[in-house]
Structure 1
Amino acid sequence: MLSPRLFLAPLPDPAAHQGRIRAQPHVEGQWAAHVYVPIPLSGCPLNLRKLLHRLSKEALTGVPELYPFLEFDGMRLSSEKQEELHISLSRPIFLRAHQREGLKKAVKRVAHSSKRFQASFSRLTVFRNDEGTRTFLSIEVGAGYDQFRGLADGLTNILAYIRQKEYYTTPRFHASIAWALLSDRLHAPDIQRGSPLEEASATARPFPSVSCIPNSFIDRLEREFGDELRRVGRLDIDRVSVKIGKEVFTWGPAVSTYWGTPCSVFSLNSEECATIEAAPVALSHVF
């Protein structure tokens, strides 16, 4: 039997990605994907944009190891910089090539079966990724939670068909505004000992990292910015995106009306099942 190492593409240099490392090495013929709700900054209330700017600056002052996602003048940026907030509806997804169209159809159907709704943010909080390699400063959804839950639940069947984990049992929908490396990331439980991934990360030059973002610091940010965050107004949510590799596909509701009933749960038809289940490949170790 051939070693799985023969199927691995060259590992990216963590130095080119601000110390970030893959918890799952890239495999030839595998595509990383992610489903989320995009909220363009250009469409956010001016007060929210100003608040996020001040919040990001204050966060960097208190925790200099943070990298902001959002682009503001004079700030050191994450290499993942973006001009919109992202509210995740899925964990990271790993696809085989023939599964890409099936996932796109599923996300399109969920988007088309939804209705526009309004959402707002309720508090500042901190999350860790599943691999335990990064921590995120985030703003958590308040109003609109049930509608986000409906969208995420609509992806459950497609994720089961492609053998991927569904979103969390009790999800906490949020938009991350900055991240930092965790100092114990090389000992994270999801990084296999002795793997090429661990070898690459162990030889990378050190990057600034934190053991955590202290609760006392989050409490201080909440006291300073929390009330304003809850007052800045509601956001119109009217689209769902899926990023597959470097491509992003976005759809909105089929009918441009506001949310009245929960999003119908996605169900596969025979055509989509055929697309997803066609042509099994030899790289069974992908899953």
Structure 2
Amino acid sequence: MALVHYSDSESDTDDNEDLSTSRAAKRIHLDTPTDNKQASSLPPLPPSFHDLYASSTRVSVRDDPSLHGGRKRVIPHVEGNWPTHIYLEWYPSKSDLVVLSDIITQAEECYGSEGDIHSLLHSDLGAQLPLHISLSRPVVLRTEQRDSFAEIFAREIRDSHIRPFDVTLYDLDWVSNYEKTRWFLVLRVQTPKYDCLNRLLRISNRTLALFDQPPLYESPTSIESKVPGRKHYADERPVEDCSHCFHISLAWTLTQPSSAAKARVANIDLRRLRDFTVHFNTVKAKIGNNVSSIPLSMGIQDERTIGGL
């Protein structure tokens, strides 16, 4: 499973308390009726705005788990290597966040004293974070491969004629990353119309296979060795049905949940999720700190290639 983006900072305890008090005062001020009316009149930020700030500021040139809540870097930093991730991004609405936050709170109660659960809904400073469905593992491209990968992947998405689609959420579970260093509280995703998730996964896996990168979910033997020249996959079926693998992560922990904790989480009431519909119209490709958005059925969103920094 592919996972993303972490940073943190250290400060004195007293400074943290003062800063928290200051932020709380600002939140109270912003929550007045007058300010709400003013805020509601402002146009929403364009989707591309979030791509400009998709990565946190680096606070260390080496892998220091103490700076990241105990997390260890999956891909070591090496000059000339570019960590790469393909995914579908979701920014939940405020009402959705209330429901998701409550689910995480219930999961914490189910987890008990087994370990700490860290929410993925907000950063340490309170900023909302995007959630995602992964279409690749965390992989690595070399500097000279970035532009080629960008061109092939964008062309394959464009030629697939996959239209924007909706998914619904149906189950709560714990899954680990490939290294078994972290466990994630996830919501399982129902298979969308026209099997769009499987089709996008195969495009991602086939394209990455050209650059000797491992697939996500599928076995390597099921992936075709060549992608260029394929026009589209509207009538194709994936060799492997990976519908049961797709999910959206809500929180993480460093401690493997016990069987009892998993059973308690599985019994959390998810009826409020029945009205959730998550819409996807863009595939995100992140290489290093550069994020490109590829609209479904329309081609590349802007003229910059993924490697074109």
TM range (shorter): 0.5 to 0.7
Q: 1:236 to 1:24 in 2, by over 3 A?
A: closer
The match for 2:281 among 213, 226, 238 is: 238
For structure 1, which segment, 87-96 or 238-247, has the greater mean C-alpha deviation from structure 2 after superposition? 238-247
Task: List per-residue Cα deviations over 1:139-172 (Å, max 9, x = no partner).
Answer: 0111318211110111233211110001212530
Q: Are the aligned partners of 1:106 and 1:155 in contact in 2 as well (CA < 8 Å)?
A: no
Residue identity over aligned pairs, in percent, reads: 29
Q: In 2, distance between residues paired with 1:241 and 1:123?
A: 25
Unaligned runs of 5+ in 1: 1-8, 72-76, 182-209, 257-271, 277-287
Q: Secondary structure at the match of 1:150?
A: helix
| Aligned counterpart, 2:39 | none
Corresponding position of 1:147: 196
1:90 aligns with 2:143: no
Mapping for residues 112-191 of structure 1, pairs under 5 Å = 112=158, 113-144=161-192, 146-169=195-218, 171=242, 172-181=245-254
C-alpha separation between the residues in 1 aligned to 2:70 and 2:262?
24
Aligned equivalents of 1:127, 1:20: Cα separation in 2: 16
1:213 is the counterpart of 2:264: no
Deviation >6 Å, runs of 4+: 78-81
**1:259 is matched with which residue?**
none
Contact 1:111 1:239 in 2 (8 A): no
Q: Where does residue 108 of structure 1 map in the other structure?
A: 154
Query: Where does residue 13 of structure 2 map in the other structure?
Result: none
> Is the Cα–Cα contact under 8 Å of residues 116 and 238 in structure 1 kept in the other structure?
yes
Residues 78 and 68 of structure 1: CA distance in aligned 2, closer, same or farther (over 3 Å): farther
- 8 A contact 2:82–2:140 mirrored in 1: yes
Deviation at 1:216, TM superposition (A): 3.0
Normalised TM-score (structure 1): 0.66
Contact persistence 1:126–1:138 (CA under 8 A)? yes
User: Which residue does the alignment assign to 1:20?
Assistant: 71
1:58 to 106, 123, 128: 106
Question: Equivalent residue for 1:260?
Answer: none
What SS does the corresponding residue of 1:25 show, helix, strand or coil?
A: coil
Offset, 1:68: 0.7
The answer as to whether partners of 2:164 and 2:297 remain within 8 angstroms in 1 is no
Q: Distance in 2 between matches of 1:250 and 1:237?
A: 12
Measure the CA separation in 1 of the matches of 2:196 and 2:125.
31
Change (3 A) 1:31 1:79: farther
Looking at structure 2, the residues matched to 85 and 10 of structure 1 have their Cα atoms a distance apart, in angstroms, of 26
Please report the RMSD computed on the Cα atoms of aligned residues, expressed in angstroms.
2.8
**1:132 Cα deviation (Å)?**
1.2
For the Cα contact (< 8 Å) 2:106–2:268, is it kept in 1?
no
2:290 matched to which residue of 1? 247
The CA deviation at 1:10 is 5.0
The answer (yes or no) to whether the contact 2:135–2:216 under 8 Å persists in 1 is yes
Shift of 1:129: 0.7
Query: Whole-Å Cα distance in 2 between the matches of residues 219 and 240 of structure 1?
Result: 34
Tell me how far apart the structure 1 counterparts of residues 175 and 124 of structure 2 sit (CA, whole Å).
17
Verify: 1:222 aligned to 2:266, yes or no: yes
Q: Judging changes above 3 Å, is the alpha-carbon distance between structure 1 residues 15 and 239 closer, same or farther for their aligned structure 2 residues?
A: same
CA gap 1:39/1:12 in 2 versus in 1, 3 angstroms? same
- 8 Å contact 2:186–2:249 — kept in the other structure? yes
Greater relative CO, 1 or 2 (CA 8 Å, sep 6+): 1
Matched AA of 1:176: S
Distance change in 2, residues 1:87/1:79 (3 Å): farther
